[in-house]
Amino acid sequence: MKIRIGKADRILNILCLIIMVGMVLFLAAVWFEIPDKIPMHYGFDGTIDRWGAKSEIIIMPVVTGGMYIFLTFIERVPQIWNIGVEVTKENKERIYSLVLHLISTIKFIVICIFTYLSVKIAIGGGLPAWFLPVVLLVTFGDIFYWSLKLWKAK
C-alpha cells in the first residue's frame, strides 16, 4: 500500500535533513577546536562518565544518518507496522496517517537529540541535569499523544 505523505511530515523530513547537514557542517567548522579527549557517555545526572578520542565524534552523524534512513524506510512500509488497532477499509487512511505522524515526529525528536549531543560533545561539556527528564518526557509524550489519537481514531 502506498501512503500519501502529508505536508507536516514532509516539513519534518526537510527539517531533519537541514539539522543533520547543520550538524556535519558544525563539526567540520569546529574540528580543529575540538579537544583531543571528548566526552562520549553521560550519567543520568548529565555528568561525563566516559571519555574518548576526538575521532569518535564521527560516530554521531553516522548513527544519526543511519537512524534517519531506517525510520524513513519504516515510514514507507506500513505492512510491518504493529498498530495495535484493527485496520478496516473505512479507517485505513486515517490510521496510517496517524502512525506516519508518529514516526515522523519520533524521527525529528531523535535527530534533534543526537544533534544536541554532538554539539555538547564537540565543545567538551557535560549535559544539564534537565536533559534526560526532558528527553524522556518529550519522547514518551509524543508516543503517548499519537497512540491516544490512534486509539480514538479506531
For the residues 138-144, what does the mean pLDDT come to?
96
- The pTM of the full predicted model, rounded to 2 decimals, is 0.88
| pLDDT for position 80 | 76
| pLDDT tens readout for residues 42-74 | 888 888 888 999 999 999 999 999 999 999 999
Q: How many angstroms from the chain centroid is the CA of residue 116?
A: 11
| pLDDT for position 90 | 79
Percent of the chain with pLDDT strictly greater than 70:
98
For the residues 18-33, what does the mean pLDDT come to?
96
| pLDDT for position 60 | 94
